[in-house]
Amino acid sequence: MEYRKIGNSDLELSVITFGAWAAGGWMWGGTERSGSIDAIRKSYDEGVTSIDTAPVYGQGDSEEIVAEALQGIARDKVQIITKYGMRWDLAKGTLAMKSKDNSGNDIDIYKYAGRESIIKECEDSLRRLKTDYIDLYQIHWPDVTTPIQETMETVAELIKQGKVRHAGVCNYTAEQVAEANKYVDIVSDQVPYSMVKRDIEKELVPYSLEAVKSIIAYSPLERGLLTGKMKPGYTFEEGDHRANIYFYNDENLKRTNEFLDKLRPLAAEKNATLSQLVLRWTIEQPAITIALAGARNAEQSVQNARAVDVKLNKEELSFITTLLNELHLVK
């Protein structure tokens, strides 16, 4: 495994970090708890020491699964990353979405990051995670109803109290990161980034390089699209959020798979899977420090971790990017 420093901090994360959204089941058509625990443990055996979760993933389920998976491992050997600012138990802020919990009950989820809410969320996360500190604490989505100053000064308090080690953000623009950084040292911005979603290259990447901020890329495999395993006609389980996203319509599956077919010879030459090639390309992009990779079972998590064994030279990276620039998906 490879490890990289986050921003200008002393926090080091494994370049492939375990993404525990699917582990919580919510929006993924349910979860198999023992499979998720096994996936986390096996990835740790491969050197994946960092795990990214959030309270809203399964409304606490994902954090509890992470805690169970890490039992017996010394706390200083792992880095726990979680989030705040999405409440399903409080109608405050702005409505993010209407959803259903893992039991099929209707829930409303709000983006809210007021001071009192963050303090409560932090305590709840510490309890569920069975730890006394969080390595990287991130606002999950921007909250337009609360001043960034109030939110970030609250996280700064939690850092002083020792409950949080470092502050990060998610889904923030470069401008929002710069504003947040006035009140607490922001070490990272977790944003969606993949071969087929590269819009952050315009503003966020240049800003991050200049300001020495890390980008943590989520959904680098575009939630399964870039694995080569999804073919036209693919059907999703009930409750799977991907069913209505344009990436996964038959035409885009066809176009994406044609692109991936052109990568297969290189993957074969490297003795790698397509997923591993995609992950390696991702962590080689400017300002992308970490790639989050989720897994529903141990086989997937081990395969993701071993993406670091794939080595790509400048010519090979350029070859992939050139092919990628010819891929056009239809919205």
Topology adopted by domain 3-224+275-310: TIM Barrel (3.20.20)
Query: What 3-state DSSP class applies to 166?
Result: strand
Query: What 3-state DSSP class applies to 291?
Result: strand
- Look at residue 22 in the predicted model and tell me its pLDDT: 74
Q: Active-site residue 57, yes or no? A: yes
How many other C-beta atoms are found inside a 10 Å radius of the C-beta of residue 9?
17
- Look at residue 317 in the predicted model and tell me its pLDDT: 97
The DSSP call for residue 314 is H
Residue 173 CA to chain centroid, in angstroms? 16
- Look at residue 58 in the predicted model and tell me its pLDDT: 85
Q: How far is CA 221 from CA 125, 204, 210, 276, in A?
A: 27, 20, 27, 9
* Full DSSP string of 24-51: G-TTBT---HHHHHHHHHHHHHTT--EE
Considering the candidates 3, 44, 57, 84, report the single residue annotated as catalytic.
57
Distance CA 331, CA 327 (A): 13
Residue 9 CA to chain centroid, in angstroms? 20
**Domain range list for the chain:** 3-224+275-310
How many other C-beta atoms are found inside a 10 Å radius of the C-beta of residue 312?
18
Query: What 3-state DSSP class applies to 129?
Result: helix
CB–CB of 143/94 below 8 Å?
Answer: yes
H/E stretch holding 155? helix 148-160
Radius of gyration of the chain (CA): 19
Q: How far is CA 223 from CA 35, 120, 275, 318, in A?
A: 18, 31, 11, 24
Q: Nearest-5° angle of CA 114, CA 64, CA 187?
A: 50
- Look at residue 250 in the predicted model and tell me its pLDDT: 86
CB–CB of 228/257 below 8 Å?
Answer: yes
Query: What 3-state DSSP class applies to 227?
Result: helix
Phi/psi for 290 (5° steps) reads -135, 145
* Helical H segments across 181-313, by residue range: 204-211, 250-269, 274-283, 298-305
pLDDT < 50 positions in the chain: 28-30
Distance CA 7, CA 188 (A): 6
- Look at residue 240 in the predicted model and tell me its pLDDT: 73
